[in-house]
Amino acid sequence: MKRLDAIGGSKFRVPASTRIIAIANQKGGVGKTTTAVNIAAALAQGGLNVLVVDDDPQGNASTALGARRDENVATLYDVLVGNVTMRDAMQPTEKLENLFVVPSSINLSLVDVELADQDDRMTRLRDTLREGLAATAAEGAPFDYVFIDCPPSMSLLPINALIAAKEVLIPVQTEYYALEGLTQLLHTIEGASASHNPELRVSTILLTMSSKNTNLSAEVAENVRDYFPEQTLETEIPRSVRIAESPSYGETVITFAPRSSGAIAYLAAAHELANRAE
């Protein structure tokens, strides 16, 4: 386990205040959810209090974290339409005691329509999350990190996430079209920032599903690093069978296959993220 020692073992620096990070890219299947749950799990395993908000009607983060999802379970939909508080919708995960999730449900896809007439439709996630974080802090267990897993769209749900967050983490898959959607994404982020959230910044870019064996993957990675030298983490997440199969066991790769290359890469990415100024 030399590499684990080299990246600092399993302890993480505690941020001065809660870091709220939206994981966004309107391009589908680039590793948003995988990144959200695995970085969250790595930080939680290192002792930090971590919350994942599943802001995608697909509910992949909820599945990957083994969330309870029977019909009585409070979900993000219930929170956004005002039926329950964010605090009430937080549930502990089975595998890691410091890791919590606000699960999604398919009816989350209705909020675009159901909230269309509401003046506060873009700030509901921010406001309910603030309340939820204040409630957990008052209980003596403040969250160190919140990750908001966005859907592959630029609808009301990701806009809410960009307004609720302080930082954006963009996963970029190292493939030919990777950079094409980024300009549009950066525009959307600027829009959310200008209208509601001046302090929002793209703090982190993570290269995902990279492959050492193809020139193309390396070329794309180099391009992204040229455009975003400050933001791009040194760690790249390799393609890994263990990463892909762990959600089907309701687990992150961090607990499912802790010694696999994928788990070690996500642990290293979590360390880089934690060591950067918030």
Ligand X SMILES: Nc1ncnc2c1ncn2[C@@H]1O[C@H](COP(=O)(O)OP(=O)(O)OP(=O)(O)O)[C@@H](O)[C@H]1O
- Applying CB under 6 A, the residues found at the interface with ligand X are 28-34, 56, 58, 60, 151-152, 208-209, 237, 239-240, 243-244, 247, 262
Q: Which is nearer to Mg ion, 46 or 251 (CB)?
A: 251
214-244: b or e for each residue (b if 16 or more CB lie within 10 Å)?
eeebeebbeebeeebeebbbebbbbbbeebe
263 vs 118: CA distance, rounded Å: 42
Q: Which is nearer to Mg ion, 104 or 128 (CB)?
A: 104
Total H helices, total E strands in the chain: 13, 8
In sequence order, the 6+-apart residues with CB closer than 8 A to the CB of 54 are 60, 61, 62, 67, 76, 101, 102, 103, 104, 149
Q: Which of residues 96-115 bind Mg ion (CB under 5 A)?
A: none
Q: Which does 208 bind (CB under 5 to 8 A by kind): Mg ion, ligand X, none?
A: ligand X
Specify the amino acid at residue 181: G
> Residue 267 — φ and ψ, nearest 5°?
-65, -40
Specify the amino acid at residue 163: I
Q: How far is the CB of 155 from ligand X (least distance, A)?
A: 13
Query: What mask of x and - would describe binding to Mg ion in positions 186 to 225, judged by CB under 5 A?
Result: ----------------------------------------
Q: Which is nearer to Mg ion, 7 or 21 (CB)?
A: 21
43 vs 144: CA distance, rounded Å: 9
In sequence order, the 6+-apart residues with CB closer than 8 A to the CB of 261 are 238, 240, 242
Does 32 bind Mg ion (CB under 5 A)? Our answer is: yes
The Cα-based distances of 270 to 53, 90, 135, 266 in angstroms read: 18, 22, 26, 6
Stretch that binds Mg ion, among 52-60, 85-93, 105-113, 224-232 (CB under 5 A): 52-60
Q: How far is the CB of 209 from ligand X (least distance, A)?
A: 5
Q: Which is nearer to ligand X, 23 or 133 (CB)?
A: 23
Q: Which is nearer to Mg ion, 19 or 32 (CB)?
A: 32
Q: Which is nearer to ligand X, 133 or 264 (CB)?
A: 264
The Cα-based distances of 255 to 119, 145, 234, 245 in angstroms read: 42, 19, 23, 12
171 vs 21: CA distance, rounded Å: 12
Q: How far is the CB of 38 from Mg ion (least distance, A)?
A: 12
Q: Which does 9 bind (CB under 5 to 8 A by kind): ligand X, Mg ion, none?
A: none
Query: What mask of x and - would describe binding to Mg ion in positions 55 to 84, judged by CB under 5 A?
Result: -----x------------------------
Q: How far is the CB of 204 from ligand X (least distance, A)?
A: 15
Q: How far is the CB of 149 from Mg ion (least distance, A)?
A: 6
Binding site for Mg ion (CB under 5 A): 32-33, 60
